């Protein structure tokens, strides 16, 4: 039987940029529980003259620990109350809670159910609320729809024609000896590109990509997605870290990279921020669309996708499985959105 979580006295205040502020009032029982847990954590290491380590009477150990006991106990209590409040209020944090204010002190020690005069306030970012736009309002021209359809048909025909050729083609022993192990294991990326891009001019490829991104631009701009600043800042920092690591392998510093790009750090960060903001908004929007429309990906689809990439499904760990599932589900959401707009969007009647 599940243990019932005791209710927390908490006030929830919604802040801009998908942040919340929680003001929590602990009970006397909460305070004593935190101190008790802190005592059990610390007592074993306390040395009191005349007693073996950790074996002195509790009153002497408490006296020896002093303020450290109450500081540790307060920290334990606050962390537990925050976790309980998050569950109670059904919040979805994406950053750690930051204590912004503490106030008051404990009150009646004889009444464990009584409230203390103490309270503390924390703030943290939560999973952003997403209000998806009315897709009927997205504008699209019939000419663009027709052109996109023709280009997709060309690519599909090119892939269909290429497959039989690959099956009939046999390698000589000389060809096999020249094959690189990494090509055999992973396949050549350039071969995949040739198949996908066959019979399609570069200008047309850019056109169809612009077509899709243009529609998603509209969907995102018409939707309401209030990203937390902390999330964007974290993504920027991670992007810089990964880039710096790659540059270091090439013997280039980040400062040298900026000189090559002829941009200041502020300018490059502004560029990244725009790209990261769009990417995050698209990610949250597709995830929300998939939830609302109950889109899911079957195990068969997931394993097939993994097999196409790795050639085997014998060793698939949970992380890999869930990652592929997420990608496929979001791709379904993207395809459904594009199809809906093509069929129901606002036609601009371009000629």
pLDDT score of 186: 42
Give dist(CA 37, CA 41) in Å, integer. 6
Neighbouring residues of 179: CB distance < 8 A, sequence distance ≥ 6: 171
244 and 336 belong to one structural domain: yes
Size of the chain, expressed as the number of residues it contains: 351
Neighbours of 130 (CB within 10 A): 19
165 and 302 belong to one structural domain: yes
38 and 160 belong to one structural domain: no
Tell whether 56 is covered by a domain: yes
Domain boundary among 86, 107, 127: 127
Tell whether 39 is covered by a domain: yes
Give the Cα-Cα-Cα angle 218, 221, 227 (nearest 5 degrees): 140
CATH number of domain containing 89: 3.30.70.1050
Structural domain range at position 165: 131-347
Give dist(CA 106, CA 104) in Å, integer. 7
Query: Hunting for tokens 């350039």 — which residue is that?
Result: 190
What are the beta bridge partners of residue 130?
Answer: 225
* Residue ranges in the chain whose pLDDT is less than 70: 1-4, 104-117, 159, 162-206, 349-351
182 and 67 belong to one structural domain: no
Give dist(CA 105, CA 117) in Å, integer. 5
135 and 214 belong to one structural domain: yes
pLDDT score of 191: 47
pLDDT score of 208: 81
pLDDT score of 344: 95
Tell whether 4 is covered by a domain: no
Strand 119-125 and strand 19-25: pairing? antiparallel
Domain boundary among 97, 127, 157: 127
140 and 116 belong to one structural domain: no
Q: How far is CA 347 from CA 183, 261, 343, in A?
A: 46, 41, 9
Tell whether 160 is covered by a domain: yes
Tell whether 224 is covered by a domain: yes
| Total structural domains within the chain | 2
269 and 340 belong to one structural domain: yes
Tell whether 214 is covered by a domain: yes
pLDDT score of 331: 95
82 and 226 belong to one structural domain: no
Tell whether 3 is covered by a domain: no
Domain boundary among 127, 150, 185: 127
pLDDT score of 351: 47
Q: What is the pLDDT of residues 73-96, one digit of tens each?
A: 999 999 999 999 999 999 999 999
CATH number of domain containing 321: 1.10.3120.10
309 and 180 belong to one structural domain: yes
Give dist(CA 48, CA 64) in Å, integer. 8
178 and 258 belong to one structural domain: yes
200 and 276 belong to one structural domain: yes
Q: Of 174, 190, 173, 172, which Cα lies nearest the Cα of 182?
A: 190
Note whether 113 and 7 are within 8 A (CB).
no
pLDDT score of 118: 84
Neighbours of 338 (CB within 10 A): 21
112 and 186 belong to one structural domain: no
Tell whether 296 is covered by a domain: yes
pLDDT score of 176: 43
Q: What is the pLDDT of residues 296-333, one digit of tens each?
A: 899 999 999 999 888 888 888 899 999 999 999 999 99
């Amino acid at each position: 039987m599940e243990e019932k979580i005791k209710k927390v006295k908490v006030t929830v205040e919604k802040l801009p940029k998908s942040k919340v502020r929680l003001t929590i009032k602990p009970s006397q029982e909460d305070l004593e529980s935190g101190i008790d847990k802190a005592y059990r954590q610390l007592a074993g290491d306390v040395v009191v003259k005349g007693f073996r380590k950790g074996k002195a009477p509790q009153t002497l150990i408490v006296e020896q620990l002093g303020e450290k006991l109450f500081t540790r106990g307060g920290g334990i209590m606050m962390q537990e109350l925050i976790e309980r409040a998050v569950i109670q209020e059904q919040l979805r944090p994406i950053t750690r809670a930051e204590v912004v204010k503490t106030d008051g002190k404990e009150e009646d020690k004889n009444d464990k159910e009584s409230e203390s005069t103490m309270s503390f306030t924390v703030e943290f970012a939560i999973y952003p609320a997403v209000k998806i736009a009315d897709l009927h309002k997205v504008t699209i021209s019939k000419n663009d729809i027709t052109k996109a359809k023709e280009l997709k048909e060309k690519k599909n025909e090119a892939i269909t024609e290429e497959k039989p050729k690959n099956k009939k083609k046999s390698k000589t022993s000389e060809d096999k000896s020249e094959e690189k192990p990494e090509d055999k294991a992973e396949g050549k990326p350039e071969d995949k590109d040739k198949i996908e891009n066959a019979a399609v001019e570069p200008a047309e490829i850019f056109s169809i990509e612009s077509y899709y991104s243009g529609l998603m631009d509209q969907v995102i701009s018409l939707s309401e997605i209030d990203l937390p600043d902390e999330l964007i800042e974290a993504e920027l920092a991670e992007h810089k870290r990964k880039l710096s690591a790659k540059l270091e392998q090439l013997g280039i510093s980040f400062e040298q990279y900026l000189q090559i790009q002829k941009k200041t750090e502020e300018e490059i960060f502004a560029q990244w921020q725009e790209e990261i903001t769009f990417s995050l908004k698209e990610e949250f929007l597709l995830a929300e669309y998939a939830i609302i429309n109950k889109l899911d990906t079957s195990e068969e689809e997931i394993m097939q996708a993994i097999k196409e990439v790795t050639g085997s499904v014998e060793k698939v760990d949970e992380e890999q499985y869930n990652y592929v599932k997420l990608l496929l589900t979001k791709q379904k959401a993207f395809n459904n959105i594009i199809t809906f707009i093509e069929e129901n969007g606002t036609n601009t009647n371009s000629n």
